[in-house]
Amino acid sequence: MNAPQLTRISTLLQNQEEAILSEWIRAQLGPGVFRSAVPPQSELHEQSKTLLRALRDALRQASSTDITSPEWESVRENLADVSRSQAREGSSPTETATAVLSLKQPLFGRLIDDCKDHPEEISREIRGASELLDKLGLYTMEVHQKGREQLIVRQQEEMQELSTPVVELWRGILALPLIGTLDSQRTQVVMENLLEKIAQTGAPIAIIDITGVPTVDTLVAQHLLKTISAARLMGADCIISGIRPQIAQTIVHLGVALGDVITKATLADAFAIALKRAGLSVTDNRTA
């Protein structure tokens, strides 16, 4: 069934496909559409052609102009492809949307011609077509935005995985070098990694090194304490190392209570304590 108000466009697309296509491509290549990177003409031709076909088929089959309905699936996919490929070429989302919207030029001229005998229908037809094309233009924007968001989420995940290694310094001594600010989400990952490693290695001591943590405010301290409490529940003691002078001052000024947690200035000092607890000692073999 045809979308009731868009029968004319559907027919136009069917009968004058070639003419509309070439005019649309000319409009896209014209001034004011692609400023940064103009895609190669052959590619543009191919893209526009498939998109126009999909649009034509959708208009013929679809019962409404709701582009989220399943009948519009192929149009949505085409638009998404166009949006993604043009984003890769370096086009801004505005440019992509404008390219889609420039289909209005060839279409509206023809619609007016087509409605010559029924002037009362012109405004209705134009409004319908305009609304539809606006939706399609906005959809390309949305795809662009979603692509960006996915990229950010993926990078965030990668960063989180990279930034929380748990290393075994010695049998039964774990170290957790923290780099970057601790937010609650990262604390969760850090905690899980540390506890898994404790369960796996059976280590009774873990050193949390905060040399790479830029600032320690009350929230970060709270997150550290949480991690330490959780490790203690599994029978492992924690030592905090890598406290820089400024950080020590901040901790005291903020009145952060680290409780009875052992703290050391350097990882080396913390490691020495851990070795001592484990009943091990390091000797210097050079001196006789």
Partner 1 sequence: MEKIPIMKISNSLLVTIQVDMNDSLAQELQDDLSDRIVQTRATGVLIEISALDIIDSFIGRMLGNITAISRLLGADTVVVGMRPAVAITLVELGLPLSGIRTALNVERGLAMIQPSMDAKEGDGRGPV
Kindly indicate which of the ranges 5-13, 72-80, 194-202, 272-280 contains the residues binding partner 1, using the contact rule CB under 8 A. 194-202
Q: Does 235 bind partner 1 (CB under 8 A)?
A: yes
Q: How far is the CB of 229 from partner 1 (least distance, A)?
A: 4
Residue 12: burial class (beta carbons within 10 Å; 0-12, 13-18, 19+): buried
Nearer Cβ to partner 1 (65/187): 187
Interacting residue with partner 1 among 188, 211, 263, 266 (CB under 8 A):
188
Q: In what side-by-side order are the strands of the sheet with 237-241?
A: 167-170, 173-179, 205-212, 237-241, 262-263
Q: Does 189 bind partner 1 (CB under 8 A)?
A: no
Q: How far is the CB of 234 from partner 1 (least distance, A)?
A: 5
Nearer Cβ to partner 1 (3/228): 228
Q: Does 239 bind partner 1 (CB under 8 A)?
A: no
Q: 271 with 173: CB under 8 angstroms? A: yes
Interacting residue with partner 1 among 27, 59, 175, 191 (CB under 8 A):
191
Q: How far is the CB of 57 from partner 1 (least distance, A)?
A: 52
Nearer Cβ to partner 1 (123/218): 218
| Pairing of β 167-170 and β 173-179 | antiparallel
Nearer Cβ to partner 1 (234/273): 234
Give the residue carrying structure tokens 């001594």. Answer: 173
Q: Does 218 bind partner 1 (CB under 8 A)?
A: no
Strand, helix or coil for residue 85: helix
Backbone angles phi and psi of 176, in degrees to 5: -130, 90
**Count of residues that bind partner 1 according to CB under 8 A:** 18
Q: How far apart are CA 63 and CA 72, in angstroms?
A: 10
Q: Does 183 bind partner 1 (CB under 8 A)?
A: no
Interacting residue with partner 1 among 118, 127, 148, 232 (CB under 8 A):
232
Q: How far apart are CA 224 and CA 218, in angstroms?
A: 10
Among residues 69, 53, 62, the alpha carbon closest in space to that of 4 is found at: 62
Q: How far is the CB of 269 from partner 1 (least distance, A)?
A: 25
Q: Does 192 bind partner 1 (CB under 8 A)?
A: yes
Q: 203 with 178: CB under 8 angstroms? A: no
> Following DSSP, what letter does each residue of 170-182 receive, concatenated?
ETTEEEEEEES--
What are the residues binding partner 1 (CB under 8 A)? 188, 191-192, 195-196, 198-199, 202, 204, 226, 229-236
